[in-house]
Chains A and B, each alone.
Chain A
């Protein structure tokens, strides 16, 4: 079964700092990878996804993530964070086969100070 590990539980940054949130998964086969974000008081929403093709994917609000198959990683990045990026971020993986469901990491809380 697949699993997801997010390295950082809580990250604190100042505005304009660069962000990188680590995510590693364990599964030997083909996977689909996702980052979801939950802003305070709001629903979980999709930030970006990787299914196939270019391993560098771009999402909403200037976020991007790079799939490195050899490292089983899908790290989330943003060159310059804003106060409005304060949220909880979840990495998720699903095996690309029938009968499986999306598995989430434990989440990383990002706090951005202005």
Chain B
């Protein structure tokens, strides 16, 4: 069966520090991969999605970037964190060509 892993689960970082959140999927190949940010009262905001290695679509221009160095690995990064980057980051995957997403447990980022 397929599983999705996100880490770290919780992260506290100072303003201006770098960020790396990692997401991996097991038990499938060539998945579509997604990064969402969940903020109270704002729902889930799509940040990036990828349909293949090295293919990244950015939905919202901001202080973050994403990379997909391997088929089942999706990384969310920042060179210098802002206070406004605080939030709950969710990785998700779907079968290529299908639209049903399965979500990971999320990573809670607090920027101080």
Per DSSP, are chain B's interface residues mostly helix, strand or loop, or mixed? Answer: strand
Whether A102 and B103, one on each chain, are in contact in the complex, defined by CB atoms closer than 8 angstroms, is no
Choose among B41, B44, B100 the residue that contacts A9 (Cβ–Cβ < 8 A): B41
Binary A-proximity of B35-79 (CB < 8 A = 1, otherwise 0): 010000111111001010000010100000000000000000000
Q: Which of B7-23 contact A (CB under 8 A)?
A: none
Please count how many residues in chain B sit with their CB below 8 Å of the partner chain's CB atoms.
Answer: 23
Check A71 for interface membership: any CB of B closer than 8 A.
Answer: no
Q: Report which of A94, A101, A103 forms a contact with B57, defined as CB distance below 8 A.
A: A101
CB distance from A52 to the nearest CB of B (A): 12
Residue from B43, B51, B102, B104 in contact with A90 in the complex, judged by beta carbons closer than 8 Å: B43
State whether A106 touches B99 (Cβ < 8 A).
Answer: no
A43 and B43 within 8 A (CB): no
Say yes or no: A32 contacts B99, CB within 8 Å: yes
Q: Is the CB of B44 within 8 A of A104?
A: yes
